[in-house]
Structure 1
Amino acid sequence: MQERAEATRRYLVEAAAHLFEERGFAGTSISDISARSGRTSGAIYFHFTNKEKLALAVVEATLATWPALIARVRASSAPALDKLVSLSFTVARSFRDDVVVRAGSRLWMERKAIEAPVPTPFVAWIETVTELLRDARAEGELSSAVEPETAALAVVYAFFGLHTVSDALDGRARIEERLRELWEVLLLAIQAAPDAPALLARACGPAPAALPA
Structure 2
Amino acid sequence: MSKAEKTRQFIVEKTAPIFNTKGFAGTSLSDMTEATGLTKGSIYGNFANKDEVAVASFDFNLLKLRTYISSEEEKATTIKEKLKVRTRIFGDERPVSYPAGGCPLLNTATEADDTHPELRARVVDALETWKDRTVRMIETGIKNGEIAADTDAEQVALTLMSMIQGAIMISRTTAKRSYGKSVMEVAQRYIDSL
What is the TM-score when the length of structure 2 is the normalising length? 0.77
Q: Is the 8 A contact 1:15 1:37 kept in 2?
A: yes
What is the aligned partner in structure 1 of residue 136 from structure 2? 131
What is the aligned partner in structure 1 of residue 7 from structure 2? 8
Q: Is the 8 A contact 2:106 2:169 kept in 1?
A: no
Q: Secondary structure at the match of 2:147?
A: coil
Q: Is the 8 A contact 2:19 2:57 kept in 1?
A: no
What is the aligned residue count?
Answer: 188
Q: Secondary structure at the match of 1:24?
A: helix
> For each residue in 1:19-67, what CA deviation from the matched residue of structure 2 results, as whole angstroms up to 9, or x when unmatched?
3234322222212211232110011011211010011011111333355
Supply the distance in 2 between the matched residues of 1:52 and 1:80 (Cα, whole angstroms).
Answer: 38
Q: CA 1:89–1:176 in 2, change beyond 3 Å: closer, same or farther?
A: farther
> Identity, % of aligned pairs?
22
Q: Is the 8 A contact 2:16 2:58 kept in 1?
A: no
Q: Max radius of gyration: which structure?
A: 1
Supply the distance in 1 between the matched residues of 2:128 and 2:189 (Cα, whole angstroms).
Answer: 24
Matches within 5 A, 1:93-172: 97-99=98-100, 102-103=103-104, 105-111=106-112, 112-114=114-116, 116=118, 118-119=121-122, 120=124, 121-170=126-175
Supply the distance in 2 between the matched residues of 1:184 and 1:143 (Cα, whole angstroms).
Answer: 16
Q: Is the 8 A contact 1:20 1:103 kept in 2?
A: no
Q: Answer with 178-187 or 146-155: which moved more.
A: 178-187
Q: Is the 8 A contact 2:68 2:98 kept in 1?
A: no
In structure 2, stretches of 5+ residues that fail to align are none
Tell me which amino acid in the other structure corresponds to 1:148.
A
What is the TM-score when the length of structure 1 is the normalising length? 0.71
- Alignment pair present for 1:30 and 2:32: no
